Amino acid sequence: MARKPSFKFIKSDSGWKVEIPERLSPTGKRQRVFFATRDEAKDYAAELRSDYEDHGTKASVISPSLADEATRAAALLAPFGISLLDAARMAVATKNTELASSSIEDALSIFLKSKSGRSEAHANAYGYMKRDLLKSFAGRMLSSITAAELLAHTEKSAPTPAGFNALTRLIRAFWRWCAKHPRDWCDAKRVEALERKETTKDEIGVLDAAQCLKLLETAKKHYPECVPGFAISLFTGMRKAELTRLQASDVTSSGINLPATSTKTGRRRFIQMPPPLKAWLKAYPLEETVLPANWQKKEKAVRRLAGWKVWSSLAEPHVPPEALPEWPHNALRHTHASVLIALGKPLESLTFEFGHSGGAQVLKSHYVGVMPKAEAAKIMKIRPK
Q: Residue 104 contacts by C-beta under 8 Å, 6 or more apart in sequence? A: 133, 134, 137, 138, 139, 140, 141, 142, 145
| pLDDT computed for residue 243 by the predictor | 92
**Residue scoring higher pLDDT (69 or 339):** 339
pLDDT number for residue 60: 46
Mean pLDDT, the chain, integer: 84
Q: What is the pLDDT of residues 199-222, one digit of tens each?
A: 655 567 899 999 999 999 999 999
Is the pLDDT reported for residue 179 higher than 70? yes
- The span from the CA of 351 to the CA of 360, in Å, is 6
Has residue 59 got a pLDDT over 90?
no
Looking at CATH, the fold of the domain delimited by 104-193 is given as: DNA polymerase; domain 1 (1.10.150)
- Check residue 162 and give its pLDDT: 79
pLDDT in tens, 278-313: 999 999 999 899 999 999 999 999 999 999 999 999
- pLDDT score recorded for residue 360: 55
Whether 272 shows a pLDDT value over 80: the answer reads yes
For 129-167, the pLDDT digits (tens) are 999 999 999 999 999 999 999 999 999 998 888 789 999
pLDDT in tens, 115-129: 877 777 788 889 999
Structure confidence at residue 49 (pLDDT): 76
- Of the ranges 71-75, 97-101, 271-275, 279-283, which one carries the lowest mean pLDDT score? 97-101
3-state secondary structure at position 352: helix
Note the pLDDT tens digit of each residue in 224-258: 999 999 999 999 989 888 899 899 999 999 999 98
How confident is the model over 23-28, as a mean pLDDT? 61
In a 3-state reduction of DSSP, which class is residue 272?
Answer: strand
Q: Exposed/middle/buried for 136, CB within 10 Å: 0-12, 13-18, 19+?
A: middle
Polymer length in residues for the chain: 385
Using CA atoms, how far residue 225 sits from 178, 244, 283, 288, in Å, is: 43, 14, 11, 12
Q: What is the pLDDT of residue 270?
A: 85
pLDDT mean over 351-374: 64
- Amino acid sitting at position 8: K
Q: Which residues contact 12 (CB under 8 A, 6 or more apart)?
A: 34
Q: How confident is the model at residue 58 (pLDDT cuts 50, 70, 90)?
A: very low
The CATH T-level fold of domain 209-380 is hpI Integrase; Chain A (1.10.443)
Reported as a pLDDT band with limits 50, 70 and 90, residue 340 is: confident
Find the radius of gyration of the CA atoms of the chain.
34
Instruction: Answer yes or no: is pLDDT of 105 > 50.
Output: yes
Question: Is residue 104 scored above 90 in pLDDT?
Answer: yes
Domain assignments of the chain as residue spans, ordered by start: 1-46, 104-193, 209-380
